[in-house]
Structure 1
């Protein structure tokens, strides 16, 4: 149990730095879990990376679905969804804890399209991939790092290809899995 507590503490400490520091593309990791579709013509592919501890196959399937939905809701609200051009991205962080929402609002040019929203008239998603690293204690997941990769193009006055990638740190709550920290990058290709 001491090792699990140390690993959980390490996960929490790693999440306190919410800045852009590169993360590898999770696109080629492990077996694919259930995919989550968005309102756009892109499907989020959810896979598993490192699992510390033991998880039953049905637990893995449930995690892939639940965390895939958290990530998809965020990417829809922050980058892909809504009417463009727009300036309001205040509701861009569903599935984030209150503290993580405050941090993301402070990083809104990174954690949403607020920096370009008034110069584009649309978004064309190309790729959405999530790889889950899971810490399980007594066969129950207690922490997840979701490695995220999102690629999309913009249309309108500003036409460019954008890549959002990095890590979301999630914890189980009474309301489901919530993002409590992140380490993301966003940039033009």
Structure 2
């Protein structure tokens, strides 16, 4: 019964439920960004055809990220197909849906920074694929992918720092709010 009361106490107010949802969403997006950082780090290390071939052989390891799966699908089909939506799991749809609801309901500086960074990376990804497909030599494609990897790695690091800052702040607010209600 003590566990039930403790859980009930954690979600006793609307503010506590909102902060808990925010913490879950931040963890979801940190998980997505960790995979993206690993891919962009690998892209930034491309030097020649062999490293590009090694990267393409290990692309299946990085399919835990929604953005990366969409980009890989776009590259492999040379365009947009609705198969992208079939590759997204139910939990990821729930995470995306809750993120959109949270974004609409509670506008904050951190979410604004992250959303603008993701929009920038999405536009950059589309431009990179289009420019990469139009290149005449493989060395130009490798150079474009390496530049793309470096730019996105910097953006991803900024997003991770923003998310970690928001996570620490939300945990502090959540704990402080729970401690206030205990007294």
The TM-score, its normalising length taken from structure 1, stands at 0.26
RCO higher in structure (CA 8 A, sep ≥6)? 2
| Structure with the higher fraction of residues in helix conformation | 2
Q: Which protein has the larger Cα radius of gyration, Structure 1 or Structure 2? A: 2
| Structure with the higher fraction of residues in strand conformation | 1
